[in-house]
């Protein structure tokens, strides 16, 4: 009787270990697939950014200002791709159990990409005298910033309305592994979240849809952009 019980115990233990190892293997496979997805998209974003840089150089050095009108549409599409991948990356990173360092490296690459796009936007806007609005959005964790989710929803709504005339760059305020993040925060005196920087104007704390919409409409030189709103 004792022998049978021991055999059952060993079989149960073997099954438990087998299930654990299978779960671990499956988790590793899923995480590797996620990493491959992000890495593939990272290469696409690098190519899209390089294309924008080439376009900027073409317009700047060869004085092809007539091509400036094509830039906002290209820029807007690139940022949409970047934002979609950023959101997925943050979700994957939260669920990561094995490849934390790999996800951290990928995250830093995307933070740098966001900053590069923002800096290039300032140069292109000035060079082409484009009537577009650029917005920096500093967000934080749900615990530190319970209103950040609602603020992000409002920004998504405004982006849908203004389209390529509004470029939004979302920055994780806590990601200080990238030195430029704390530097930008100091430059705009960012001390609470959410914080929005529209042009050179800083909106600290939660900002309503109507406030931002009014500010945006005051920003554009072409008043007809707000006619349909």
Predicted local distance difference test score (pLDDT) of residue 107: 80
Nearest to 184 by CA among 173, 198, 168: 173
Q: What is the DSSP string of 125-183?
A: HHHHT---EEEEEEE--TTT-TTHHHHHHHHHHHHHHHGGGEEEEEEETT-TTSTHHHH
In whole angstroms, what is the distance from residue 157 CA to residue 209 CA? 9
Paired residues of 137 in beta bridges: 170, 196
In whole angstroms, what is the distance from residue 86 CA to residue 160 CA? 18
Q: Which CATH class is domain 131-229?
A: alpha beta
In whole angstroms, what is the distance from residue 168 CA to residue 136 CA? 6
pTM of the model: 0.76
Encoded tokens for 27: 């988790």
In whole angstroms, what is the distance from residue 229 CA to residue 225 CA? 8
Going from N- to C-terminal start, the domains of the chain cover: 1-130, 131-229
Reduced to 3 states (helix: H, G, I; strand: E, B; else coil), residue 199 is coil
Q: Which CATH class is domain 1-130?
A: mainly alpha
Low-confidence ranges of the chain (pLDDT < 50): 1, 3, 20-22, 24-26
Predicted local distance difference test score (pLDDT) of residue 25: 44
Please name the residues in contact with 78: beta carbons below 8 A apart, sequence gap of 6 or more.
45, 48, 49, 52, 117
Predicted local distance difference test score (pLDDT) of residue 185: 94
User: Rg of the chain over CA atoms, in angstroms?
Assistant: 23
* Cα distances (Å, whole numbers) of residue 4 to 1, 8, 23, 181: 5, 6, 28, 64
Return the beta strands (E) in the chain as ranges: 133-139, 166-172, 195-198, 201-204
In whole angstroms, what is the distance from residue 100 CA to residue 208 CA? 36
Q: pLDDT tens for residues 168-203? A: 999 999 888 889 999 999 999 999 999 999 988 999
Exposure of 116 by Cβ count < 10 A (0-12 exposed, 13-18 middle, 19+ buried)? middle
Q: Are strands 195-198 and 201-204 parallel, antiparallel or unpaired?
A: antiparallel
């Amino acid at each position: 009787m004792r022998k049978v019980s021991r055999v059952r115990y060993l079989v149960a233990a073997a099954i438990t270990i087998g299930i654990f190892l299978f779960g671990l293997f499956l988790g590793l496979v899923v995480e590797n697939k996620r990493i491959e997805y992000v890495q593939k998209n990272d290469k696409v974003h690098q190519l899209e950014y390089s294309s924008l840089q080439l376009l900027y150089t073409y317009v700047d050095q060869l004085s092809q200002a007539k091509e400036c009108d094509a830039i906002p549409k290209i820029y807007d599409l690139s940022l949409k791709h970047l934002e979609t991948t950023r959101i997925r990356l943050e979700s994957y990173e939260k669920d990561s159990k094995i490849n934390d360092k790999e996800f951290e490296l990928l995250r830093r690459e995307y933070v740098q990409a966001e900053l590069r796009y923002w800096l290039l936007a300032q140069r292109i806007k000035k060079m082409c005298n484009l009537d577009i609005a650029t917005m920096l959005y500093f967000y934080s964790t749900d615990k530190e910033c319970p209103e950040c989710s609602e603020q992000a929803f409002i920004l998504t709504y405004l982006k849908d309305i203004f389209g390529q005339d509004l470029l939004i760059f979302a920055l994780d305020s806590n990601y200080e592994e990238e030195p430029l993040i704390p530097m930008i925060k100091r430059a705009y005196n960012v001390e609470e979240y959410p914080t929005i920087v529209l042009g050179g104007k800083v909106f600290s704390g939660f900002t309503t849809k109507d406030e931002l919409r009014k500010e945006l409409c005051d920003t554009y030189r072409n008043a007809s952009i707000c006619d349909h709103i």
